Structure formats: C-alpha cells, structure tokens
Amino acid sequence: MQFVAVVLLSFWACCSHGAELHRLHWSENVQTKLDPLTLKQHAPPSGNIVQLAEKLGAKTLVKLVKDAGLQGALSGKGPFTVFGPTDKAFKALPKAVLDLLMANKTALQEVLKYHVILGDIFSSQLKNNLIASSLQGAPIRVNIYKDGKVITASGCEVILPDQNATNGVIHVVDKVLFPVPVGTIVGTAVANHDFRTLVLAVTKASLTGALSAKGPFTVFAPTNEAFSKLPPGAFDRLLHNVTELTQVLLYHVVNGSFYSAGLSNGDVKTLNGKSVTIKLNHDAGVLVNTARVVIADVSTTNGVIHAIDEVLLPPALRQKIMESHTKNLAEPIENLDQLDEHRANPTENIVQLATKLGATTLVKLLQDAGLVGALGGPGPFTVFGPSNQAFNALPNKVIDQLKSNVTALQEVLKYHVISGDVFSSQLKNDMTANSLQGSPIRINIYGTDTKVITADGCKVDLADQNATNGVIHVVDKVLYPIPSGTIVDLAKSDKHFSTLVSLVVKANLAGTLSSAGPFTVFAPTNEAFEKLPADVLNKLVSNVTALGLVLRYHVVQGTVYSAGLVNGEMVPTVNGAKLTVNISSSAGVLINSARVVMADLSTTNGVVHVIDSVLIPPTMWEDLLVPAESSIDEIEETNTAESPRFNILDLADNLGAHTLVQLVQTAGLGSALRYGKGPFTVFGPSDAAFKKLKPEIVMHLLSNVTALKEVLEYHVIAEDVYSSQLKNDLVVKSMQGAGVRVNIYGEKITASGCPISKADQNATNGVIHVLDCVMTSIPTMNAAELVASLKDFKTLKLALQHAGLVNTLSGSGPFTIFAPTDVAFNALPPGMLDHLLHNVTALTQVLTYHVVKGTFYSAGLKSGDVRTVNGKSVKVDVQADGMIKLNGNSYVVWPDTSVSNGVIHSINQVLLPPTFKDISHPSMKNLIMTNKFTKL
C-alpha cells in the first residue's frame, strides 16, 4: 500500500490557491441563490461566535477552537455561519479520533473549519441539497426533511437553529461533521476495502461515471460480507449478465441525499424504478427491505452512503436468482454446449490421463492397490487426483504404512473417487458427495472474482481434465486422513483436547457441535488453556453463561478451510462477535493473536484448526483477564528489562504513547498486542510523532479503519528483534507484509527512515523501539514501479525508459534516488530535455548522477559530498531548518518515500554532473557560459 506516498506527492504538487477560489465562488453563489427578502427577524445578538458558544454551553467546541488557535478568527468581523456540535456530540466520537485531533493542531483546524461557512445564513435561507463550501474547502450539504421540520448539515441534525451573534450565526447540531468528505460515492467506495465486491460490480456494469456525477444520490451499499451471503454462483451469474447486474445495482440507489435523519417508515423509489421499504426499528435500527444498515451517513461530495449487510434484489429478479441456485447440488449438465465444452473428445481413460498429467505417484499407488482395472472401466468417475508434490508432502511414516497395507491404501485412494462425472461448474459450496470409500467429500468454493475450489480443504489446482470415463480434478494435497467422525468425536479422540472437550460438555455444546453443521472450530489445545492467567479457567467453569460465550467465539458457521481464509478478513462467530484473520509468511495464520499450529482437520460436519491460545471475546477481556487488585502504577515499580511485567500495549501506554494505544484499539489490534503470546517487535511512534503527521494523512487514517490497520501492522514484526541484532540495510518483514528497512547512521538507528529515540523497551510478549515519526510510507513497489505510478514523475519515467535504466532501478539495490519531478524537468533550458532524450549516453550520465548506492533517508544525510553511481559526487547541504539542498540550487521538496529497494527524495531541480561533456547542444554551451555549472 503506497497510498500515503501517492496522497502526499499529489498534494504537494497542487496549487493552494484553488481552495480560496472555491470559497469565493461559493460566496457569490449564496448571494444569487438566497433571497434576502426571506430573512426573518432574529433575536438580538449575544456576543460574538465564541462568546455565544460559551453561553450556549458548548464547552468542548470552545476549548477545541482555542486549542486550534481559531478563537481570534471566529471572534473577528465575519460574518460566519457555524454548525456547532454539542458537548454530547463530541463525546460520541471514538476516543482515539478525539485524542488524535487534540494531539494534531493542523488536523483539528481542518475539522473545525469544516463546520464554518463564510456569511451569516439563517435557517429560513437554507434549501434542500444546498451545497456550501466550508472554510476547510470541502462542501457541506444541507438537507431539509419532513416538511421543513428537520434540517441537517452533512447528515447532522440541527437541534437549535438561528442563534444570533454579532459576527454571524450558530446552528447547534447533534453530531460532529466528521469525517470530512473527500471523494465521490465511487471514490469513497474504492478507498474502503469493505466495498471491494461492490466496486467490482459497479465497474462491470459501467456505472462508475454515473455514480461519480453531481447527483446527489443515496446509496445503500452492500459490504463484501453482504455479497458473500448470496447463494453460491449468484454473483458470478450477475457478473455475466450486465443487464440483470445493472438492475440490481440501481435498486440500491435513490435520487437525492437521504441521511438517517431524513429516513422514515415507508417505500422509497430507487433508480431501478422499483421501491425499497424503509423500516425504523428500535432494536434492529434501520432496515432496507430485510437488509440492516450497519454503518450510516457516510458523506461524499455527491451524496451519502449507508452500508448494509445484505444485497437488495429487485422483486422481479429475486425469485429467479434464488431459485436457480436451490437445485440438487450434483445435478447433471443439461446444456449441450456446456457438455461439449467439458467432454472435448477425450481419448484417454482416467488412469491414462493421470499418467499424461504427470501424476506418476498416483498411478503407481493405484497399481499397487489393484485399482487400475476398476478406474480403467466404463465409469464414469470423478477423481480428485493429488499431484506428485502432494504425495511427497505426506510424512514418510504415512506413506510407508499405506504401502505396507493394501487395504488401507485402497481405502485412501477410493476416498478420492466419486461415482459419476462431476465438473467444476456443477460443484457448489458445502456440497457433500459420497466417495467410493463411503465417507463424504466436502466441496467448498471461496472467493467471488477469483474462485478457489477445495475438496476436504485440498485446493483444486487444475479442474475439468476430461477422460473417456470421467474427469480428474488435480488437487494440491492428499485427502488424508479420512474424516470418520464429528468435530466432537475428533476432539474426544485426541488427548490434547481433553480440556476443550470437558468445557464443551460443561457448556452443553456437545450436541450442537455433533449436529450436521457445518462448522469451523478454532480449537485450543490443553497447553493453550494452561496459558490463561490464574483463576480464569475457574471463572469460566463456575459461570456456564460466560463459558458458552467464550466457546462460541471459537466457532464459525460454515466450513472455512485454510484456502478460504483471507488476510485481514473479519469472520463472524456464532457468538456474534468477529475474529480477525492475519496471514503472513513469518507468523503463518493468526486468528486474533492465536497461531494456527495445525490446520484443516476434516470432520463429517466441518473442519477443525488447532490454535495455541484461547480466544477471548473483546467484551469479556476486562472481566476475565485483568486482575482487579493490580494497577499500572503498582506494576511499574517492578517492571524491568530482565523481568518485564507489561505486555506490549500496556508498556506503550506507560511509555506515554497514548495515541498509538488508542489507534491500535480502534483498528482492532489491541487483543493481539495485549494478550497475544508473541513475541512481537513494535516500532512505536510517540505522541509527538503523531502530531507531526500531515492533516490529510490524519483525516485519511481516521476515516478509513482498513488503512489505519495496515499502517499500524506495518509497525509490528512477528518476532522479538533487539537493537543489538539490527544491521544497516536489514529488511524485516512486517505483519502488514511489506518490509521495514533498518538503517544505522553512526549512533542513529532508523526504521523506514524514522529515528529510534528509545530502543529495547522490554515487554512480556516482545519489545518496543520508540520512534519519533510514523512510518506511513509503506513500500509495496520498487523504485521504478513507484516512479511509473505517480503522475508527477512522467518525465522521469520516460527518461528511465530511454536510458534503459528501468530494470536497474527494479533490482534489489538498495538505492537512494534524488528524483526530479516534472516541474524540475520543465525548468531545464528550452530544448535540453529533447536533446537528452535523443542522446542516451548523455541522458545516462545525468540520470545516474541522481542515484546513490545504499539507503540514505533524510535522517542519514549530512552536509558534505555524497558519491553517486555516476562516479561523481553531489554536494549535500542540510540546513538549520531541516531543508536539504543539493549542489546549491536543488531542494528536496518531499523526502523519505520508502520503496522496496531503497528510498526516493523528490527534488525541484535536475542535477547536472560537473564533468558533463556533452556540450554540442546550444543550451548546454549557454549553461557553461552563464556559470550554471562548471566545465572541468
């Protein structure tokens, strides 16, 4: 995720005058749109805006205005219109959001200015869907509902209008206007990973342009999880029928902006032409048909989004879509074209085809088991055929046992065979089909865009290999062992689950987990239960209700093998709470903070994944895991490096990294870092580090939990790495997946360019290195890829291609690149760029003069000469204010953009090497004569 680099470089390239022109444009519009004759008589003013807010009891608003340094402005001449949140409104904000705003003055100013409009506008002048630019620059949308009885500003209800001040007017609102809208409906959806499936569908239906238009629109937006609830194959059917897909999508869109305050019981007509039914329910909240609004009032520049938990299907299509997926799971193919496509005139039988596919181990074992004759017969058969690599992955002991016992070998091989030819198009999620061995094989289908098919959790790598007597689906593992019992039976048969079994019986869940299901169980071992703090197990045994809640938190409805687990996915449990899946090459699969130590144990009613820690629902942490008699102050007295008593999260809090702690909890990572076994290494930004963040980054992170989680996971390593182990240009893989590059400059150590101000702070489950900046530039691309992806480097991209340096800068490096922007190239004398592009030797001399071997973030640059790969040196001048000047005339305008093979510093002037001898172009001679560079 290189989003921060892209956002900031784009922001830097923009002219700041646009916002001022936008404000002026709105002021002119107000004078033409609002009729002054409609003004009513209002109460005499009672002080200026700030004084009036104090009298109205808006203590939090006034304090924040003062903290942001806006008191003088809002006490000035004005006039201003302020949508002023109550104290209760500010209290309703997540604590992490409020804390971060209070810690970052610039971000706080941006939010507060979004509540202010130039001019005094009373409620009598407001009109439905009026757009007014705030002092922050983003638009505030005014809506009027219920015959003028309800007025909202960006969805926040005005509960006390027209409070007159000497320099304007305050309209008291019941919520904080946050987050500030920064994109259209489509842009907002694209930025949120929870809407990836919706974005795919909108793109397929060619509706991105329509939903990016002026509008306004109200979109009831199904989440990824909502789409996953559709019957198997339904979404794929829609993707292949654009007409039906468009009807479904338009059934989610209403003309106009309807925030929650404007919704009422009854029917609302959609752009599909049919109506949806709105129901306001005290317990369930807002229902749209049967879909529940799970996140309301997401403001965009062209309307509002309400996230819903089900896809809305128009009445005319609902029955058609649902019924087409309720037929027998193994129904025969009736479409002759489809049948011809599958059969494609095969010439080999099952055994001959397996040989042709290279499955020599499978064929040899079939011969040993005496099954070649049967599988060479008329059939038809469906064979899930393991590759040679799949058999090689089996423990030698298992292979030896099978080879020495023909009956057992026959049983295992027959378990891979189904009677009848069943092609992939006929397979459906959680379909079970009896094998020739007698036990059922469970089919699962995961994903929407790119499907993954599994048989008992074994991934189908090559489907529909047609034979004269059936079909082979090549799988990546051997279907072994054969499931012989339910989840409870499996647990009872293994002594490592004796504690789990006794607790399941105690909670009266044995019957449930022995039923048809299917279920996915994350099963803690006896050792996992032993790791629980003292008395927790006793608490659970003595409280069956609490025990049931904890056990249900380990159970997911449906069969989710490893192939179906998605990194970052939130998986709902039968407890009602969700589990977080984290997958990395270093840590493997983590469920919350518990590591999966053995995966994909098939049972007749689902699958079991063995985990090394007990999962505790977030709502029960405090009751079960926090000792009442201990406090942070008491623990601090005895916490030492040799005998740490703090976990990672509590240690961070004790070190004063309060913003980090709040954001970690907001992102849903608190349980992993507090209760996870680890060990973890956390590069923990201080509160001061978060204060340095640019306001546009702060707004992006606060309004996008997915992005916030990625940034925070980039600060965590799934092992304990102390400063004594760190080496220059060491790259360690983060929980987010991208590498954190460590550099050592003298006594200074940096992580992705951020200096470590306090190293080796030891915790019970890892170590913290305190940083003085936030690592927001996540290196997901190499240098050449990043240059190619950013619009400000179009000329540099072209130059690298002409010089044949793209592959070099895609190499392992590491490199430090002083990258000239398009503005820098445009500043060259007329004709020089064209001259360079037609002279590869000269161009290469210039470009390689911008590249230094090794990784030098700004923290590692110091005044003096730095040798480039051109062979000549660039003169670096690190100035007192932190600005970096190169060769006396080029400035680093955006430093420290991390890439996977080094770092990029954007510069505003092209660097010309002092030994540059290509003076055949007049502009070059002119440069020499005017001493802009020196000829040696």
Of 232-246, 478-492, 790-804, minimum mean pLDDT range: 232-246
**Exposure class string for 284-301: b at 16+ Cβ within 10 A, else e:** eebbbbebbbbebbbbbb
| pLDDT, tens digit (0-9, with 9 covering 90-100), for 893-907 | 899 999 999 999 999
Give the pairing type, strands 902-907 and 815-820. Answer: parallel
The tens digit of pLDDT for each residue in 710-766 reads 899 999 998 889 999 999 999 999 988 889 999 999 989 999 999 999 999 998 889
Residues facing 609 on adjacent strands: 522
Q: What is the pLDDT of residue 593?
A: 74
The residue among 240 and 117 whose pLDDT is bigger is: 117
The domain in which residue 441 lies consists of 339-475
- For residues 932 and 98, the model is more confident at 98
pLDDT (average), residues 909-915: 88
- 933 vs 894, higher pLDDT: 894
Statement to judge: residues 126 and 151 lie in one domain:
yes
Is residue 153 domain-shared with residue 219, that is, in the same domain?
no
**Does residue 758 belong to any structural domain of this protein?**
yes
CA-wise closest residue to 264 among 284, 286, 293: 286
Contacts of 219 (CB under 8 A, 6+ apart): 185, 211, 252, 253, 254, 303, 304, 305, 306
The whole-angstrom separation of Cα 787 and Cα 817 is: 11
Please say whether the beta carbons of 167 and 47 come within 8 A: no
Residue 126 · residue 171 · CB < 8 Å: no
Considering 622, 637, 671, which residue would you say is the last residue of a domain?
A: 622
3-state SS assignment for residue 662:
helix
In this structure, how many other beta carbons lie within 10 angstroms of the beta carbon of residue 373?
10
First to last CA, the chain: 45
In a domain, 698, yes or no: yes
Q: What is the mean pLDDT of residues 403-426?
A: 91
How far apart are the C-alpha atoms of 714 and 63, rounded to whole Å?
Answer: 34
Considering the domain architecture, whether residues 298 and 365 belong to the same structural domain is answered as no
Of 269-273, 459-463, 921-925, least confident by mean pLDDT is 921-925
- Note whether 246 and 130 are same-domain residues: no
Per cent of the chain over pLDDT 70 is 86
pLDDT tier for residue 641 given thresholds of 50, 70 and 90: low
Residues in contact with 235: Cβ distance below 8 Å, sequence separation at least 6, in sequence order: 197, 201, 227, 448
**Cα gap 851→643, rounded to integer Å:** 47
Q: Which residues are paired to 744 by β-bridges?
A: 749
Q: Which of these ranges, 176-185, 321-330, 588-597, has the smallest mean pLDDT?
A: 321-330
Total structural domains within the chain: 6
819-849 exposure pattern, b = at least 16 Cβ within 10 A, e = fewer: bbbbebbeebeeebbebbbebeebbbbbbbb
Tell me what the mean pLDDT of segment 342-355 comes to: 79
One-letter-per-residue 3-state SS of 798-839: HHHHHHCCCCHHHCCCCEEEEEECHHHHHCCCCCHHHHHHCC
Q: Indicate whether 206 and 315 sit together in one domain.
A: yes
What pLDDT score does 45 carry? 73
By the 8 A CB rule, do 256 and 298 touch? no
Q: What is the DSSP string of 704-743?
A: -HHHHHHHHHTTEESS---GGG--TTEEEEBTTSSEEEEE
CB of 107 closer than 8 Å to CB of 194: no
Tokens representing 458? 């074994």
pLDDT (0 to 100) of residue 33? 31
**Residue 306 DSSP SS3:** strand
pLDDT reported for residue 83: 95
- Does 43 reside within a domain? no
Are residue 493 and residue 447 in the same domain, yes or no?
no
**Domain annotation covers residue 631:** no
Stretch among 39-48, 228-237, 645-654 having the lowest mean pLDDT: 39-48
| 857 and 895 housed in the same domain | yes
What is the pLDDT of the chain when averaged over all its residues? 83
User: Does the predicted model carry a pTM greater than 0.75?
Assistant: no
Is residue 890 in some structural domain?
yes
| pLDDT tens readout for residues 442-469 | 999 988 666 889 999 999 988 889 999 9
Domain shared by 296 and 274, yes or no: yes
Q: How many whole angstroms separate alpha carbon 850 and alpha carbon 457?
A: 51
Amino acid occupying residue 849: Y
Here the tokens at position 485 are 């019992």
Reported as a pLDDT band with limits 50, 70 and 90, residue 631 is: very low
Token pair of 195 as six digits: 């809407």
Same domain, 873 and 791: yes
pLDDT band at 866 (very low <50, low <70, confident <90, very high): very high
pLDDT at 920 over 70: no
- The residue written with tokens 């059922």 in the block is 440
Whether 636 maps to a domain, the answer reads no
Using a 10 angstrom Cβ sphere, with 0-12 exposed, 13-18 middle and 19 or more buried, the burial of residue 667 is buried
Q: Are residues 368 and 446 in the same domain?
A: yes
Mean pLDDT of 98-119: 87
Tell me the C-alpha distance between 421 and 426, whole Å: 10
Q: Average pLDDT of 486-492?
A: 94
- Mean pLDDT of the 575-588 span: 77
**How confident is the model at residue 218, as a pLDDT?**
95
Query: What contacts 897, CB < 8 A, 6 or more positions away?
Result: 5, 9, 777, 786, 903, 904, 905, 906
Lowest mean pLDDT among 99-108, 286-295, 807-816: 99-108
What's the maximum distance between 2 C-alpha atoms anywhere in the chain?
A: 101
618 and 677 fall within a common domain:
no
Contact call for residues 385 and 357 (beta carbons, < 8 A): yes
CA-nearest of 605, 542, 551, 554 to 579 is: 554
Residue 78 lies in a domain: yes
Handedness of CA 857, 862, 863, 865 (dihedral sign): negative
Q: What percent of the chain has pLDDT over 90?
A: 42
DSSP letter at 613 equals S
pLDDT at 200: 87
Q: Are strands 606-611 and 519-524 parallel, antiparallel or unpaired?
A: parallel
Task: Write out the two tokens for 829.
Answer: 């004398």
- List the alpha helices (DSSP H) in 333-451: 336-343, 350-356, 360-368, 372-375, 388-392, 396-404, 406-414
Q: How many CA atoms within 13 Å lie on the side-chain side of 155?
A: 24
- In this prediction, residues 419-433 reach a mean pLDDT of 88
The span from the CA of 256 to the CA of 354, in Å, is 60
Q: Is residue 514 part of a domain?
A: yes
Amino acid at 328: N
Are residue 361 and residue 286 in the same domain, yes or no?
no
Predicted local distance difference test score (pLDDT) of residue 234: 81
Cross-strand bridge partners of residue 286: 280
CATH number for position 242:
2.30.180.10
pLDDT digits (tens, 9 = 90+) for 290-342: 889 988 888 888 999 999 989 999 987 876 776 544 333 333 333 434 433 44
For residue 189, give both structure tokens. Answer: 């959806």
